[in-house]
């Protein structure tokens, strides 16, 4: 009889309702995949924050690319202008040298005659 | 001691001027340039220092003429060209020309060609800057009654390279060789 009573007592003790520790439900739910207790606003954040990040990166890349292209265009125009100026300078120098040559040849011819 | 700042300023100005001359700054008198430009009916001024020549060189194409020009300008420190066209004769004086020539009176400058007309409106000068037997610059003055041309090329000029200019950019054959021959005298 004693043994029976002891077993009964042990069972009652073991099966008696207990208060769950604080945060137990949340911890269990968090471990269950796909059932994390995420509020709806947080779900929206998880979608929009990376989107905003990518958009910012794309915008910055676009701005940098545009600025680089503009700089290249400006440099190309300035370079073309400088090249034309150089060719003009060489042409004018050549023309002046040509004139001088003609004058010198003319005067040398005149002297020899 | 009170004049020390003035002396220092003047000194630094002189140093800056001489540094400018070494860097291939056009030696034409700036005030005279302005005066001539004001009197001219049409004028062209092209100033290309070493920096500009290098920059322009990057934009030369790969055809033969451009490659030749690239090789020539590599050793140059500057190309300065002035062309003044006047409506009537007498828009510049012999004194004006003398002011320009006076910039090339240094011991390093040698007059190679010097032609004087009776009217003083048809003078021709070629000056070469020779340092250690090498041509370091060339100045050409060509004046006619209604036109005045000035060309100053700064930098190492090899007579054989000058002759390479022949036929390029409208330079007639023989001009470079002629100048080189004069330079070698």
Chain B nearest CA to A63, separation (Å) = 27
Q: Which residues of A touch B175 (CB under 8 A)?
A: 94, 97-98, 101
Rounded to a whole number of angstroms, the CA Rg of chain A reads 46
Residue B67 has pLDDT above 90, yes or no: no
Nearest-angstrom CA–CA distance, A16 and B184: 120
Q: Calculate mean pLDDT across residues B3-13.
A: 47
Q: Calculate mean pLDDT across residues B20-47.
A: 82
**Mean pLDDT for all residues in chain B:** 77
Q: Which of A73, A88, A92 to mutate to test the interface with B (most CBs of B within 10 A)?
A: A92
Q: Which residues of A touch B178 (CB under 8 A)?
A: 101, 104
Nearest-angstrom CA–CA distance, B67 and A79: 16
pLDDT of B163: 52
Q: Calculate mean pLDDT across residues A4-22.
A: 86
Q: Calculate mean pLDDT across residues B167-173.
A: 50
Residue A54 has pLDDT above 50, yes or no: yes
pLDDT of A111: 63
Q: Calculate mean pLDDT across residues A35-59.
A: 79
Q: Is the ipTM of this complex over 0.90?
A: no
Residue B82 has pLDDT above 90, yes or no: yes
Chain B positions with Cβ closer than 8 Å to A: 44, 46, 48, 52-53, 55-60, 69, 73, 79-81, 83, 113, 115, 122, 124, 126, 140, 142, 149, 151, 153, 165, 168-172, 174-176, 178-179
Give the pLDDT band of residue A23 (cuts 50, 70, 90).
Answer: confident
Chain A nearest CA to B46, separation (Å) = 6
pLDDT of B11: 46
B42-49: strand order across its sheet: B42-49, B76-85, B147-157, B134-144, B124-131, B109-115
Selection from B28, B22, B21, B35 nearest residue B102 by Cα: B28
Give the pLDDT band of residue B39 (cuts 50, 70, 90).
Answer: very high
Are the CB atoms for A79 and B56 separated by under 8 Å?
A: yes
Of residues B39 and B14, more confidence is placed in B39
Give the pLDDT band of residue B160 (cuts 50, 70, 90).
Answer: low
Nearest to A90 among B58, B69, B80 (CB): B69
Nearest-angstrom CA–CA distance, B74 and B164: 14
In chain B, beta strands by DSSP E: 42-49, 76-85, 109-115, 124-131, 134-144, 147-157
> What sections of A16-39 are H helices per DSSP?
24-31
Are the CB atoms for B23 and B50 separated by under 8 Å?
A: yes
Q: Which of A74, A87, A111 to mutate to test the interface with B (most CBs of B within 10 A)?
A: A87
């Amino acid at each position: 009889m004693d043994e029976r009573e002891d077993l009964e007592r042990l069972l009652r003790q073991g099966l008696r309702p207990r208060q769950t520790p604080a945060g137990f439900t949340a911890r269990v739910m968090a471990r269950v995949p796909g059932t994390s207790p995420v509020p709806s606003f947080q779900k929206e954040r998880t979608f929009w924050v990376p989107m905003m990040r990518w958009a910012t990166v794309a915008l910055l890349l676009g701005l940098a690319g545009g600025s680089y292209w503009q700089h290249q265009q400006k440099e190309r125009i300035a370079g073309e202008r400088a090249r034309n100026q150089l060719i003009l300078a060489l042409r004018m120098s050549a023309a002046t040298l040509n004139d001088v040559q003609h004058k010198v040849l003319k005067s040398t011819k005149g002297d020899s005659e | 001691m009170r004049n020390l700042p003035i002396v220092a300023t003047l000194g630094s100005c002189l140093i800056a001027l001489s540094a400018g001359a070494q860097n291939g700054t056009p030696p034409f008198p700036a005030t005279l340039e302005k005066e001539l430009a004001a009197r001219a009916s049409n004028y062209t001024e092209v100033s290309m220092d070493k920096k500009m020549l290098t920059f322009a060189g990057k934009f030369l194409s790969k055809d033969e003429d451009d490659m030749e020009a690239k090789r020539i300008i590599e050793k140059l420190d500057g190309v300065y060209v002035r062309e003044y066209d006047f409506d009537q004769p007498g828009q510049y004086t012999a004194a004006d020309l003398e002011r320009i020539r006076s910039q090339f009176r240094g011991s390093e400058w040698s007059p190679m060609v010097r032609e004087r007309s009776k009217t003083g409106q048809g003078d021709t000068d070629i000056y070469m800057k020779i340092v250690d037997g090498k041509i370091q610059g060339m100045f050409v003055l060509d004046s006619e009654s209604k036109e005045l041309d000035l060309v100053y090329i700064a930098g190492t000029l090899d007579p054989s390279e000058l002759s390479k200019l022949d036929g390029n950019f409208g330079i007639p054959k023989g001009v470079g060789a002629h100048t080189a021959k004069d330079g070698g005298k």
